[in-house]
Amino acid sequence: MPSQPAQSPEPVLCRIRAEYWEMPGLKLTPGQAQRLLGLDPESCDTLLTTLVSTGFLACTGDGAFVRRDRSSVR
């Protein structure tokens, strides 16, 4: 059976960005993000890391993710 091509992460990245834009002050732990978005832990971690590396999100001192322009990362 041929393997299926990997799906682009862009639709999910757009959804994560939309959640953060629509809810100012949103602060999610990795577990909360997994439940909200219906993702497995590995996929969720990869997507959150991507958004941190692009400067959209920041990781707080307690491991939660916040929108970068709203963050007081400590």
pLDDT, tens digit, for every residue of 24-42?
899 999 999 999 999 999 9
For the chain, 74 residues long, give each residue's pLDDT as a single digit of tens. 444 445 788 999 999 999 999 998 999 999 999 999 999 999 999 999 999 999 999 999 999 999 998 544 55
* φ, ψ at 21 (rounded to 5°): -70, -40
Q: Which domains does the chain have, with CATH numbers?
A: 10-70 (1.10.10.10)
Calculate the CA dihedral of residues 6, 11, 26, 63 and round it to 10 degrees. Answer: 20
Neighbours of 67 (CB within 10 A): 19
Task: Please state, in angstroms and as integers, the Cα–Cα distance from residue 63 to each residue in 7, 21, 33, 60, 73, following that order.
Answer: 27, 20, 12, 5, 10
Neighbours of 33 (CB within 10 A): 21
